[in-house]
């Protein structure tokens, strides 16, 4: 039998439990990450949704910001996680420095008050059937560098994108029963292991 992938979920704040449950359904070994040393030996890492300022502040307090920058595996950021991975937040509302690992500029709470939370069926690159997506005070990708591949859009803006070993989603694939986006991430983790081997 294939060795299970070891995937960390940053467990400082936000909906890390839902990500962990999804990963277990896909037979990954899950590690809740609260300290830098817990990144050792992981094949991949998920940064969950929540409040990006809070997660960023706590990560900096525990030295996890630099540890994540030094981490060599694949990383998946959802919602607040997408914001933290970005190079820049364009609205200037983010007091905390971002990890700056993905060449995207993001707009926080981009969909506006009226549609603060909504659901939509998305056409996703590589998926023959649409993916039902849950957006909660979601950001969108305002602009992206040439190395970024847009995998899905909503309201004309990128909401799922990949740059090398990084995957980012503005929505919450961990909140539906649909495992396909997490499966795409685990494929990326395996791909990245192949590159590093
Ligand atoms: N609006 C939140 C932020 O800016 C993100 C919301 C979410 O992760 N669901 O951090």
- The pLDDT tens digits of the residues spanning 46-101 come to 999 999 999 999 999 999 999 999 999 999 999 999 999 999 999 766 667 899 99
Distance CA 16, CA 79 (A): 12
Which tokens hold the place of 85? 């991975």
Is 11's C-beta closer than 6 angstroms to any atom of ligand 1?
no
Distance CA 1, CA 74 (A): 23
| Centre of ligand 1 from the C-alpha of residue 85, in Å | 13
Closest CA to ligand 1's atom 5? 80
Q: How does residue 114 score in pLDDT terms, banded at 50, 70 and 90? A: low
Active site residue 172: yes
Q: Which of 163, 174, 182, 192 is catalytic?
A: 174
By percentage, how much of the chain surpasses pLDDT 70?
97
Q: How does residue 112 score in pLDDT terms, banded at 50, 70 and 90? A: confident
Cα radius of gyration (the chain): 15
Burial of 152 (0-12, 13-18, 19+ CB in 10 A): buried
- Tokens 């986006």 locate to 181
Region 125-139: mean pLDDT is 97
Closest CA to ligand 1's atom 1? 137
pLDDT at 161: 98
pLDDT, tens digit (0-9, with 9 covering 90-100), for 28-42:
999 999 999 999 999
Region 145-161: mean pLDDT is 97
- What number does the ligand 1 atom closest to the CA of 14 have? 8
pLDDT at 197: 72
By percentage, how much of the chain surpasses pLDDT 90?
90
Q: Of the ranges 99-103, 109-113, 158-162, 165-169, which one carries the lowest mean pLDDT score? A: 109-113
Active site residue 79: yes
- Greatest pairwise CA separation for the chain in angstroms: 49
DSSP string, the chain: -PPPPEEEEE-SSSSHHHHHHHHHHTT-EEEEE-SGGGGTT-SEEEE-SS-HHHHHHHHHHTTHHHHHHH--SEEEEETHHHHHHEEEETTS---SPP---EEEEEETTTT-STTSEEEEEE--TT-SS-EEEEEES--EEEEE-TTPEEEEEETTEEEEEEETTEEEESS-GGGSS--HHHHHHHHHHHHHHHHH-
Q: Is the pLDDT of residue 10 over 70?
A: yes
**Calculated CA dihedral for residues 39, 13, 17, 77, nearest 10 degrees:** -60
- Domain 6-196: CATH architecture, name and number where available: 3-Layer(aba) Sandwich (3.40)
What pTM was computed for the model?
0.96
């Amino acid at each position: 039998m294939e060795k299970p992938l070891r995937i960390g979920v940053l467990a400082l704040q936000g909906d890390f439990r839902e990500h962990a449950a999804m990963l277990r359904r896909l037979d990954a070994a899950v590690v809740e990450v609260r300290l830098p040393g817990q990144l050792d030996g992981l094949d991949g890492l998920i940064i969950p949704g929540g409040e990006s300022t809070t997660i960023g502040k706590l990560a900096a307090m525990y030295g996890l910001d630099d540890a994540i920058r030094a981490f060599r595996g694949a990383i998946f950021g959802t919602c607040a996680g997408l914001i933290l991975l970005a190079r820049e937040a364009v609205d200037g509302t983010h007091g905390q420095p971002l990890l700056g690992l993905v060449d995207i500029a993001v707009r926080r709470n981009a969909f506006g008050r009226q549609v603060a939370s909504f659901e939509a069926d998305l056409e996703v690159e590589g998926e023959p059937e649409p993916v039902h997506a849950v957006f909660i005070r979601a950001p969108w990708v305002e602009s992206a560098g040439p190395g970024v591949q847009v995998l899905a859009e909503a309201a004309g803006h990128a909401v799922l994108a990949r740059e090398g070993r990084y995957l980012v989603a503005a929505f919450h694939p961990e909140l539906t029963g649909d495992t396909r986006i997490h499966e795409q991430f685990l494929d990326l983790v395996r791909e990245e292991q192949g590159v590093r081997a």
